[in-house]
Structure 1
Amino acid sequence: MNPDLSPLADALREADADGYLLDASSEESDQLYLSGFDAPDPFVTLYTPDGTHLLVSGLEYGRATEESSADSVARLSEYGYQERVAEYGRTEGTHRVVAAFLDDRGVASVAAPERFPLGTADDLREQGVAVEVLDEDVVTEIRAVKTDEEIDHVHAAQRANEAAMRAAEDLLEAATVEDGVLYHDGEELTSERVKEEIEVTLLRHGCALDETIVAYGADAAGPHNRGSGPLRADETIVIDIFPRDKATKYHGDMTRTFVKGEANEEIRRRYDDTYDAFEAALDAVEPGATGKEVHDAVCDLYEDRGYDTLRSDPSAETGFIHSTGHGIGLDVHEQPSVSPDGGELKPGHVVTIEPGLYDPDVGGIRIEDLVVVTEDGYENLTNYPIRLELE
């Protein structure tokens, strides 16, 4: 993947630190990114301007040697792990091993992220290693600018996402309506049943997710309400899918809003206004623009058409009550932000554009695509139709 880590080297110089240290499993995205190694248990990654070095258990040594992007991989046993644990206990013994690993590489001071384990930091300091928390989350900022390979990974996850959305839409379209309730194969069609179809489809495309959103009516008026129970006709159904590719660990993200049957005039008006807000946001996306400017374009349109936004009323409970978007990659929510405090957008930033309107009396409406900022604008990584009514 070969990301540009020079900002991290610059941050170490400014902090007068010899290296940057992580102690976490690969579930921590910065750890996965910096080490290139996927492991369920915590391990140590040391970055210095001269290279990246891992300290892992004997169990993971062979795999780390073959699969990681590190310049070197060491075993715990090389630093007397069993003897130190026998003498000091597992926790302190492990930390003494880490201190010896650092000393072996001439590292007397390290910088660490804000969420670095406190116990590790305290024990390293007792062993004479200086540990300083960086003011800025440098690796997260580096991760925000995607390489071409990373963009391909996100695009692949989004293609799986599109297949899952198609499966959900087909299920809704095939449903019949009895007394206002949707039925499929003689049973009530529930939010849970649609989620199951989404998850099965994603698995077939090499992706998975812990949860998704299929919310209708008043439930859909809560932007993160996951939804439950039987689905009904003539009401908005918000489907928001954000899968993770099981191989690459990169995410996709997409939202569509459907009405099975006929949308009333108010739903249709709000949907059209949201689509216009979506287009206004896309028109504002370009390198050098800020996430704030993109967000303001959405707020301008909504406010001009009479809706509350959090910009016009920070206590608003209906209308446009969230930010316009967020970065996506190894985390489903990461930098950059497309929000009131969103900074400059740069080529390689991958962001969601997802304006929406919410009112329990009407339902929720949200449209979301995933785009990458390019040298002269943006490329939409989503290839899925936007439509409201399903027959």
Structure 2
Amino acid sequence: MDPDLSPLDEYLDEGGLDGYLVDADSSESTQRYLSGFDAPDPFVTLYTPETTALLVSALEYGRANRQSRADDVSRLADYDYRSLAGEHGPRAAKARVVAAWLDDRGVDSVATPERFPLGPADRLRERGVSVAPETEDVVTEVRARKTDEEIEHVRAAQRANEAAMDAAADLLREAEVVEAGGAKGGAGNERDGAGESDAGDRALAVDGDVLTSERVREEIEVTLLRHGCALDETIVACGSDAADPHDRGSGPLRPDEPIIVDIFPRSKETKYHADMTRTFVKGEPTDTIREWFDLTHEALVAAVDAIEPGVTGAAVHDIVCDVYEDAGLPTLRSDPKSETGFIHSTGHGVGLDVHELPRLSPDGDELQPGHVVTVEPGLYDPEVGGVRIEDLVVVTEDGSENLTNQPIELQI
């Protein structure tokens, strides 16, 4: 991957800064992006318009030379770290090493990510290095415009995501409707259903066992692992749980109630994310849920159709609000204090982070080729449940491409 970092070059030049410094492990996405290196322990990356340099432990030195995108890799040992640590302690020793390493590269002043660790920043200042936090989102905006290679990484993660969604849907198709007490695991696990559901004490069961949110999540996670992806958590929320957009869901799944399945995995190899949501009903949806699903599908299609270079994220968000408000449903645009209806933004960028720039929201800026965004309209009410549908879209030079091939179906 060879990203266009010219906006960062301009930022450094305008600020009279020599370089951009990151001190973190590769789970910090800017570190991973600038270094091209995956390591579990913190290391230091220096970017200048002329070069990218890494300072790593001896343990990571060989791999950093082979795998990173750095032009120059140094070891802590090259600067006598062990002796310095014995004399001054590990923290002060590392500051001395980093300061000397920067000095060797003619760097006296650096910008850092806004959340650069305070201790190392202060210790570098004590060694005469000027350290200033970068607060204009320059690097995150650069990261938002994906290269062709990055788009393929996201596409591959979305294919794995679709396999996981298929696995979840297959479990729901296989499930039978049973009396909650008549299946293993059913007794004592009932929870209140959504207001319009007549599921009563019925539940879904597979092979005689009550089908739970936890069981579906397990199937999702196993499927993702088989496709080279993983995730820390996912959403399988039924009935009233689905009325909270970020409720992970728990307990038995019930017939005739909406079940929101939102999966956002990360590739174990490339570290790029995907994101997708579907809403299912096993049985007969209420009239309200069916109406909400149709409106949400309409809003999704309208928003995706509008995405192209130059359109703002705010304009795309307004399109979704228009669909819902025209149907007489509340949104945060029509009522900023509403607790029901459309109560979140339309979408967000996806890449090394599952939530990054750009935003499809009231403050969303212009979309540009290479932006990868979710489009995820939804409606929520604890008395009814929730509905959300989410696709993943890349902005192209002349429009957009939907990276999601998953069918959209309510009744399953």
TM class by shorter chain equals over 0.9
CA distance in 2 between counterparts of 1:49 and 1:65 reads 20
Is 1:70–2:36 an aligned residue pair? no
How far does the alpha carbon of each residue in 1:223-263 deviate from its partner, in whole angstroms, 9 at most, with x for none? 00000000000000000000000000001100000000011
Aligned position for 1:89: 89
**Structure 1 stretches lacking a partner, 5+ long:** none
Matched residue of 2:171: which SS?
Answer: helix
Aligned runs of 1:152-301 on 2, under 5 Å? 152-179=152-179, 180-301=202-323
How far does the alpha carbon of each residue in 1:366-385 deviate from its partner, in whole angstroms, 9 at most, with x for none? 00000100111110000010
Whichever residue aligns with residue 174 of structure 1, its letter is E
**Deviation of the 1:176 alpha carbon:** 0.3
The one of 325, 329, 332 equivalent to 1:307 is 329
CA distance in 2 between counterparts of 1:99 and 1:51 reads 17
In the alignment, is the contact (CA less than 8 A) between 1:26 and 1:39 conserved in 2?
A: yes
CA distance in 2 between counterparts of 1:90 and 1:381 reads 47
How far does the alpha carbon of each residue in 1:290-349 deviate from its partner, in whole angstroms, 9 at most, with x for none? 000000000111111111111111111000000000000000000000101000000000
CA distance in 2 between counterparts of 1:84 and 1:207 reads 41
CA distance in 1 between counterparts of 2:137 and 2:21 reads 13
**Structure 2 stretches lacking a partner, 5+ long:** 180-201
How many residues align structurally?
Answer: 390
**Segment drifting more, 129-138 vs 282-291:** 129-138
In the alignment, is the contact (CA less than 8 A) between 1:15 and 1:134 conserved in 2?
A: no
Whichever residue aligns with residue 147 of structure 1, its letter is T
Aligned position for 1:42: 42
Aligned runs of 1:128-167 on 2, under 5 Å? 128-167=128-167
Q: Which runs of 4+ in 1 moved over 4 A?
A: none
How far does the alpha carbon of each residue in 1:169-225 deviate from its partner, in whole angstroms, 9 at most, with x for none? 000000000132000011000000000000000000000000000000000000000
Q: Percent identity?
A: 70
Aligned position for 1:24: 24
CA distance in 2 between counterparts of 1:77 and 1:321 reads 53
TM-score, structure 1 as length reference: 0.99
Aligned position for 2:411: 389
CA distance in 1 between counterparts of 2:400 and 2:76 reads 46
CA distance in 2 between counterparts of 1:278 and 1:371 reads 11
CA distance in 2 between counterparts of 1:83 and 1:322 reads 54
Whichever residue aligns with residue 83 of structure 2, its letter is E
TM-score, structure 2 as length reference: 0.94
Is 1:324–2:318 an aligned residue pair? no
CA distance in 2 between counterparts of 1:269 and 1:209 reads 32
CA distance in 2 between counterparts of 1:154 and 1:279 reads 21
**Deviation of the 1:135 alpha carbon:** 2.6
CA distance in 1 between counterparts of 2:299 and 2:274 reads 21
Aligned position for 2:113: 113
Is 1:8–2:30 an aligned residue pair? no
The one of 357, 361, 368 equivalent to 1:346 is 368
Whichever residue aligns with residue 404 of structure 2, its letter is T
Whichever residue aligns with residue 261 of structure 2, its letter is I
CA distance in 2 between counterparts of 1:284 and 1:228 reads 36
In the alignment, is the contact (CA less than 8 A) between 1:281 and 1:295 conserved in 2?
A: yes
Aligned position for 2:192: none
**Deviation of the 1:84 alpha carbon:** 1.2
CA distance in 1 between counterparts of 2:250 and 2:45 reads 42
CA distance in 2 between counterparts of 1:373 and 1:364 reads 28
How far does the alpha carbon of each residue in 1:251-277 deviate from its partner, in whole angstroms, 9 at most, with x for none? 110000000001111111111111111
CA distance in 2 between counterparts of 1:135 and 1:126 reads 22
Aligned residues: CA RMSD: 0.6
